[in-house]
Every structure is written in structure tokens, then in C-alpha cells.
Structure 1
Amino acid sequence: MSAVQLKDHPVWKDIQEYNTPDKIQAQIAFMVYMELCEDKGWWNMKTHLCQELSVVFLSGHASRNKPREIIIPMSADTVLNPAQIQTYILTVKIPDHHTNRREEIPDLKRHHVSDQTAMYINRKQAKTSNAETNEENNT
């Protein structure tokens, strides 16, 4: 993608409005966004800003009937320790997005998109016992 096309793309303009200090991460987020939309056929892709971490992240559906996933674009050479991964899991959330369950089990995957890496956090709902479900229905 040429520089002219990049600066004129509406999603790139949205990402720039976040005014994050890490301009490289913002560019990687845009490249991952484009690859997921254009090459991988993801649905309903959106960009978000995690203000606490100053990170641009994405959300979308891998296919029409799959649940929404969170994608944290980062350089392919990024090394994360367990504490950093935990911070991402606990901090990066889709604004105004709520689940029906009290607990969620993150399914963390690391995928290569072109020469970049995107960390996917798929927050799957935890299975609850019938007793817990009945307790929730009675409250």
C-alpha cells in the first residue's frame, strides 16, 4: 500500500486520531486490520484504543457466525512474558461490550499476519453448572 493510500484510508485516519505515542504499533494495527479484512475475510472489524496501555487493538469476527475476538497487533519480534500477557488479558476490553456470564475464559492465540504478529484474545464464556444458572435466573 502506498503512502498516499495509507494517509487517505478512513481507518488509518481513525487510528491516527487515537494519538498513541507508539506510531509503529499504530501502523502495525492498520496493516493487521487490512490483512484481516481484505485477505482473511473477517467481518465487522473495528479499531479501539486501550488508553491504559496506549495500544491500538482490533475486534471482529473470523467468520459471520463466529464470536467477536480481540486482536492486539504487535511486531513479530515482540517478546512477552507471562505478566505482560496477563496485563493484556485483564486490561484490553471492548468498550460497552458485556457478556451474559460472570466469568470468561480467555483463549489466547498468537498468529502471524504477513510479517507482523497479532495476539488474539477470544473471551469464551465459562461453562457453569445448572445450580449456578438457576441461581442467576432467580436473582
Structure 2
Amino acid sequence: MSQLICDQYVLENKIELDYTEEIIELQNENHEELMAFVKKFYPHYFKNRTPELGRYFGIFKDDKLVAVTGQTMQMNDMTEVSAVITDTNHLGKGFAKQLVAFVSNTIFEDGKTPFLHVAENNLGAKKLYEKLGFDLRGKINLWGVKR
């Protein structure tokens, strides 16, 4: 069994941001590329049907997916921002910032509040989320069970 301690963040207000990249909602025809992209950077994060849990959005460069963010866990009043992943060759270009803002704002448009979980030691991501206006709400322990 393995433990992952995460910080939970909640966003109370829409994010005001000028988007410089085209953000595309990924469709069924993007499934294979999405799966290969996530597997490249986080090999154990997705299962084949994980994209069915919500909506995913991406940024493409030269017809290649280079950054992705999704919406997964959905409750009556809240929806989780998840799978914030940028290709390591495209870090520092503001792709994650734009995707998190875009996805969070679509959650607000649906009348819900965005929240997310991030590993407590992922300081770069936490700094981004706080800069975008997310507030730390607490810690959550996730356990992995292997068969």
C-alpha cells in the first residue's frame, strides 16, 4: 500500500486572464493521443476509460497535444479540475495557467465551484494555483492498494 498526501484547493471567483493559446475540447477522436500523452508523463494516472469521467481540454502545437487539463469528479455544487499536465518540452510557456483558468471558468459557467487536489510536495503547481486565486482548504490522504 502507498500513501499520497495532497492539498485540496478551492476557487471562489472566476479567473480574469487573456488567453494567448487556442484551447480545444478533446473529443473521442483525440482519445488515443490523450491516453499516450498522459501515459508518457504519468504512466499510472489514467485507465482506458478515465476520460469518460469528464471533459478534457488541450493545447496543440504543430498538431501535437502539448498540454491538457480536465474536469472529473463532479458533485452537486463542485467539480474537480484534474490532469493538469504539460509536456516537459513546453514548460514555462503559460499553458497550464491558461488551461486551469479556462477549465475553472467553464466550471463556474456550469454554476459550480472548482476545486483540485495537488501533491503536497508539488510546490510549483501549488504556487500556480495560489497565484490564480485558489485557496488551500485542507489535506487529504490518498492510498494506493496493489493486488
Interval containing the TM-score (normalised by the shorter chain): 0.3 to 0.5
TM-score (norm 1): 0.33
Larger RCO: 1 or 2 (CA < 8 Å, sep 6+): 2
State the TM-score, normalized to the length of structure 2.
0.32
Hey, which of these two has a bigger chunk of helix by percent? 1
